[in-house]
């Protein structure tokens, strides 16, 4: 049964987009892919290498791992510099706090073990638990992903931590923003039944690009009123839309497969 036959779904992800689109198409959907961001890997970035060497210069007491992809990217970059073994050993001597199963999987894939994993898979929970662990006077390595987290790292510094921020990836505007402009137009002229978001930065930049296209207010008004459904992989991803009063639906589990099942079940 092709439950999504006749339905057009817009997806804004770059990472795992082909897998996501193929899963929806197997259920009969027409997929409109318009990546709202590019993830730029930085294995040769001097700032990343400097941050890695800073971590290695003196022992770190805590390590915060925010994403599995970011942690693996950091390890891969370190391997290219001949520093992977030293990095793994340094992090292995710290107390590792991870943001959920994906981050834990990357940690364990490096032969390490986390002390704590956020049950709700949120940065707020992760950094709150870390602050309560007692970071005053401690060096804390924070693995970021596509953007800084000043609301969390500043709180650690205020608690007395010496924070080393490590950012293996950065977000950039998509190479073809016109694809997002076209998707915005498709939402507004009724050709799109649902929008799917798998990261908060993609949701934010989708809205930013709508503004650049001159249709931000119109888009937000339409999403608030429906009938387009905004399906988000989890609460963190949904937050930029929820802050604007846009209703969202989310699966029980923050996984791509669960998001596909949610979209298949749309009325």
| Six token digits for residue 130 | 């870390």
Structural contact between residues 51 and 86, judged by C-beta atoms closer than 8 angstroms: no
pLDDT at 1: 47
Closest C-alpha to 41, from 12, 20, 15? 15
- The CATH code of the domain at 8-37+173-264 is 3.40.50.10090
**For the residues 152-173, what does the mean pLDDT come to?**
93
User: What is the pTM for the complete model shown?
Assistant: 0.75
Q: How far is CA 188 from CA 31, 111, 134, 148, 226, in A?
A: 16, 49, 50, 32, 10
What b/e sequence results for 7-27 when a residue is b if at least 16 CB atoms lie within 10 Å of its CB, and e otherwise?
Answer: bbbbbbbbbebeebbebbeeb
List, as own/partner pairs, every contact residues 169-172 make where C-beta atoms lie below 8 angstroms and the sequence separation is at least 24, other chains included.
Answer: 169/39, 169/40, 169/41, 169/42, 169/69, 169/70, 169/73, 169/145, 170/39, 170/40, 170/42, 170/146, 171/37, 171/38, 171/39, 171/40, 171/146, 171/147, 171/201, 171/205, 172/37, 172/38, 172/40
pLDDT tens digit sequence for 180-233: 999 999 999 999 999 999 988 899 999 999 999 999 999 999 999 988 999 999
Residue-range domain boundaries for the chain = 8-37+173-264, 41-171
pLDDT tens digit sequence for 90-140: 999 999 999 999 999 999 999 999 999 999 888 999 999 999 999 999 999
Same CATH topology for 8-37+173-264 and 41-171: the answer is: yes
d(CA 35, CA 201): 11
Which residues are within 8 A (CB) of 129 and not within 5 positions of it... i.e. 6 or more apart? 97, 116, 118
The CA-to-CA distance between both ends of the chain, in Å, stands at 15
Assigned fold of 41-171: Rossmann fold (3.40.50)
């Amino acid at each position: 049964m092709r439950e999504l036959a006749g339905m057009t779904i817009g997806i804004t992800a770059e990472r795992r987009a082909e897998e996501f689109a193929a899963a929806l198409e197997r259920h009969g959907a027409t997929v409109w892919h318009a990546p709202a961001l590019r993830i730029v890997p930085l294995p040769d970035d001097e700032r990343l290498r400097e941050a890695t060497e800073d971590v290695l210069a003196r022992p770190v007491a805590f390590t915060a791992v925010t994403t599995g992809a970011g942690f693996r990217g950091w390890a891969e970059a370190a391997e290219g510099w001949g520093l992977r073994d030293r990095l793994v050993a340094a992090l292995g001597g710290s107390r590792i706090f991870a943001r959920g199963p994906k981050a834990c999987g990357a940690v364990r894939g490096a032969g390490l073990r986390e002390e704590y994993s956020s049950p709700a898979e949120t940065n707020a929970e992760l950094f709150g638990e870390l602050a309560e662990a007692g970071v005053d006077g401690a060096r804390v390595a924070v693995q970021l992903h596509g953007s800084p987290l000043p609301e969390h790292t500043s709180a650690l510094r205020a608690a007395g931590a010496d924070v080393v921020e490590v950012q293996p990836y950065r977000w950039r505007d998509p190479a073809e923003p016109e694809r997002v402009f076209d998707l915005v137009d498709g939402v507004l002229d009724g050709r799109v039944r649902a929008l799917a978001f798998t990261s908060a930065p993609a949701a934010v930049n989708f809205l930013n690009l709508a503004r650049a296209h001159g249709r931000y207010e119109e888009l937000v008004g339409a999403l608030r009123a429906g009938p387009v459904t905004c399906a988000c992989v989890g609460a963190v991803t949904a937050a930029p839309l929820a802050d604007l009063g846009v209703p969202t639906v989310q699966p029980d589990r923050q996984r791509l497969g669960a998001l596909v099942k949610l979209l298949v079940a749309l009325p």
